[in-house]
Amino acid sequence: MRLAVVGHVEWCEFAEVAHVPQSGEIVHADATFEEPAGGGAVAAVQLRKLAGETNLFSAFGDDEIGHRAEAELREHGVRVEARFYPEPQRRAFVYLTEGERTITVLGPRRGPSGADELRWALLDDTDAVYVTAGDVEAVREARRARTLVATPRGLETLADAHVELDALVMSGRDPGERYRPGDLDPSPRLVVRTLGATGGEWESATGERGRWGPAPLPGPVRDAYGCGDSFAAGLTYGLGAGWHVQQAVELAARCGAVCLTGRGPYERQLELAN
């Protein structure tokens, strides 16, 4: 399969803590680490682990952190197509607690532009693309793929692009990922909502509906960072492979469950062999 992500990258500093500090409180981290993450990066690495290879169309700050982020994603096996913008790399600070993550983002979310001199023609032979960020023209370039999946976090851009999505995937509990019928024209062919530990639900434009339950955890819970984007990557893989929606969301749920048992986004992600 040929898969790709059009999206953003954040350089994340992670701190493992017993609890997130309240206003005025000081807490001490049990451990810290840093690496490139954010929706586009996490989904790209998960797709690489599922399919063996993937392309990430993105943008990085033209500073030491931005170049380091791009280099480390290549070390994860991701094929990076990107521009470097003059502003500093977008960063984030993440508290990791048992079963949860709390994020503070520093800087605007930046994705690629369709005007960037990237190898967009690669998408002509791509089975599925997942979009997390980019401008209107980047979304239209992504539509070259046979299957197009997106998150509603860039809903205004998706609306302005006026392309048909094969699937819109979101957290049903995150106010930043809300979608209502009529927000996009044309409407997505499929809307998928995750509902945390209870599973989730999906509905097609033709009225077909389904639900799935939680996937079994392959180990103790660590933290939730990357679970949603790993889920979206699994869904993109399944739909790109031509699977029925129910089969695709069940694979996606497995991806999210495996990630939940790892430290940060990449320590535990579902591998092709599994």
Residue 268 placed within a domain = no
Residue 266 placed within a domain = no
Buried b (16+ CB within 10 A) or exposed e, 227-258: bbbbbbbbbbbbbbbeeebeebbbbbbbbbbb
Residue 31 placed within a domain = yes
Distance, CA of 75 to CA of 233 (rounded, Å): 19
Task: Tell me the CATH number at 136.
Answer: 3.40.1190.20
Q: What is the pLDDT of residues 137-161, one digit of tens each?
A: 999 999 999 999 999 998 999 999 9
Residue 61 placed within a domain = yes
Residue 273 placed within a domain = no
Residue 270 placed within a domain = no
State the DSSP H helix or E strand holding residue 245, giving kind and residue range, or none if neither: helix 245-260
Q: Dihedral of CA 223/49/132/177: which sign?
A: negative
Residue 89 placed within a domain = yes
Q: What is the pLDDT of residues 78-92, one digit of tens each?
A: 999 999 999 999 999
Q: Specify the DSSP class assigned to residue 132.
A: S
Model pLDDT, residue 146: 98
Number of domains within the chain: 1
How does residue 174 score in pLDDT terms, banded at 50, 70 and 90?
confident
Which residue range(s) make up the domain with 215? 3-260
Residue 82 placed within a domain = yes
